[in-house]
Amino acid sequence: MICMDLTALRKRLSPYKPTDQASINASRIAARKVAINGANIIRTFAALLVILPVLVTFCFVYRNPQPDRMSPFAEARVLDSRSPPLITSQSLSLVNDSLRPVELSEDNLLGGLLASGFDIGACLSRYQSSLYRKASPYKPFPYLLSRLRAYEDLHKRCGPHTNSYNHAVKQLQSGRTASPTDCNYIVWISFSGLGNRILTLASAFLYALLTNRVLLVDPGTDMTDLFCEPFPNTSWFLPMDFPLKNQFKDFDKKSPHCHGYMLKNNLLNASSGTIPTYLYLHLVHDYDDHDKLFFCEEEQTLLAKVPWLFLRTDNYFVPSVFLIPSFEQELSRLFPEKITPFHHLGRYLFHPTNEVWGLITRYYNAYLAKADERIGIQLRIFETSKGPFQHVKDQILNCVLKEKLLPEVSKQDSFFPSSGSQKSKAVLMTSLTSGYYEMLREMYWEYPTVAGEVVAIYQPSHEEFQQSEKKMHNRKAWAEICLLSLTDTLVTSAWSTFGYVAQGLGGLKPWILYKAENKTAPDPPCVRAMSMEPCFHAPPFWDCKAKKGIDTGILVPHVRHCEDMNWGLKLVNGHDEL
């Protein structure tokens, strides 16, 4: 370009003979300016060639920051960023203006369980989870699907900031006696650890389905960071300007509007005609006999007239809901397979946000994807002193070896397994401490397996103690629950809601490690669960009609006592499925 400019200038000047020195000088000055401008352009272009790669590198690093080398989740991101293969033509959708396509499976709506119409890029896990998890043998029944679609319409009509919602909030603020409304609500108050919150939120949603209420979720400190919106074209999160939000922390079993407290003090009577605008339901493990009357038919008749219910609980109370006569027929239509309530509702409601989904997929692709078999071991030790404990190590080994979940090793120096086809097993362990992971890892590193299997042990994190108030702690916890649910075989700890959520989402019947007593490994060390359903740890033992105590674990074939807590209740199909 510059050479062409100089040549053109010379051609323009050559035919003419300058008549004076001034003309000659002017021509020289013009030529010099062109040369200088050309040199400047060359220098600028050369500088851009040097700077551009630096800028590109900087942008890449900024968008993909270097991981914390101390974090196994971050290490997984470095080791392998591969995605599963493309499945269908639906995968041509784009994410966040990126050229990388979204991978979708043919059953990304889980047999109709999930509604269509969402922004795929806003919540990748909603449509990609089926790429990582085996297809469930438990298909949702058509009636459940129709009720979910009807609920979505209800939530869209009555959800936050709609006319119906605004009207109901005004009535709530007025404090006047309740009058009939288009929409009734149940507000779930964020409470307890992550596993408890997931189980209780599923319980609250089922209750909302049964009573035609709209479920609104107190976001707490991190619910919006962990979970995508489950309902299309609306939100389930309670608005920040909700009038009673600041009172949630003060609600307890002695609150004036507590259902049990009002019953105890004869302040609530369905026949009186005076119905409050709201009631607080205290279903926490410390609830008393009057709070437990929530599970009685008579009280459900009264509660149906109250526009606003506020619920705090740390219990998966679904098994006792199955014992309420007025709900029996509807529950049978929703869940002909009695062991599927949390399995279906959990997969419908709980979708990790993109930040959490990134933790899950990077770890899975780096460590678990290539294994022939994936085994999950979830450990929750309820000891007051810090481990690891030898009796727990013994119990883990006794369970996985006795049940042939992991292969035996040979400690003979002269033993060498055959070099034929070697089956690989990836073991995913989750625990607050690393001692049990190190024990298994060293065993399978130092000794060969008898049949020549290759066993790799992984643990994403070891946070040392529960830190529910920290955002990243809960992100990792939610990611680990989901990773456990992607395994083929699962071992869980007694009493642990963390394990309950994983088994329910994965459709897995785990081997449950019995709770150790007196620092002694139990014998037998573990037991196979009767079903994948969670355990209700604090059920009422009360006959509502006879007004006397009763064992509610023997009333119907599909509600039985739990394997890991003999006073708890869980749903089964009415017979052992082992």
Residues 554-574: tens digit of each pLDDT: 999 999 999 999 999 999 997
185 against 101, higher pLDDT: 185
175, pLDDT greater than 80 = no
DSSP 277-337: SEEEEEESTT--TTGGGGGSHHHHHHHTT-SEEEEEESS--HHHHTT-HHHHHHHHHH-SS
Angle between the 142-158 and 325-334 helix axes, to the nearest 10 degrees?
110
Residues 468-498: tens digit of each pLDDT: 667 899 999 999 999 999 999 999 999 999 9
Type of residue at 568: G
DSSP 58-121: HHHHHHSPPP-TT-HHHHHHHH----PPP-SGGGG-BSTT-SSBPP--TTTTTTTTS-S-S-GG
Lowest mean pLDDT among 197-206, 405-414, 562-571: 405-414
Query: Which residue from 436, 367, 376 is spatially nearest to 406, judged by alpha carbons?
Result: 376
12, pLDDT greater than 50 = no
What 3-state class would DSSP assign to 578? Answer: coil
95, pLDDT greater than 60 = no
Lowest mean pLDDT among 51-60, 106-115, 285-294: 51-60
Residues 536-557: tens digit of each pLDDT: 999 999 999 999 999 999 999 9
Q: How far is the CA of 145 from the CAs of 194, 199, 507, in angstroms?
A: 27, 21, 18
The contacts of residue 50 (CB under 8 Å, 6+ apart) are none
For the residues 188-214, what does the mean pLDDT come to?
A: 97
Residue in this structure with the two tokens 């030898």, named with its chain if needed: 390
At 159, give phi and psi (nearest 5°): -70, 180
Query: Which residue from 138, 539, 498 is spatially nearest to 343, judged by alpha carbons?
Result: 138
Q: What is the mean pLDDT of the chain?
A: 84
At 250, give phi and psi (nearest 5°): -95, -10
pLDDT for position 296: 97
For the residues 352-356, what does the mean pLDDT come to?
A: 98
pLDDT for position 386: 74
Residues 45-77: tens digit of each pLDDT: 555 555 555 454 444 444 444 333 334 453 333
For the residues 14-19, what does the mean pLDDT come to?
A: 41
Could you report how far apart the first and last alpha carbons of the chain are, in Å?
Answer: 81
Sign of the alpha-carbon dihedral angle for 170, 172, 174, 179: positive
For the residues 362-379, what does the mean pLDDT come to?
A: 98
381, pLDDT greater than 80 = yes
Q: Could you tell me the pTM of the whole model?
A: 0.82
516, pLDDT greater than 70 = yes
408, pLDDT greater than 70 = yes
422, pLDDT greater than 80 = yes
373 against 52, higher pLDDT: 373
Burial class (CB in 10 A: 0-12, 13-18, 19+), 324: middle
CB atoms within 10 A of CB 189: 20
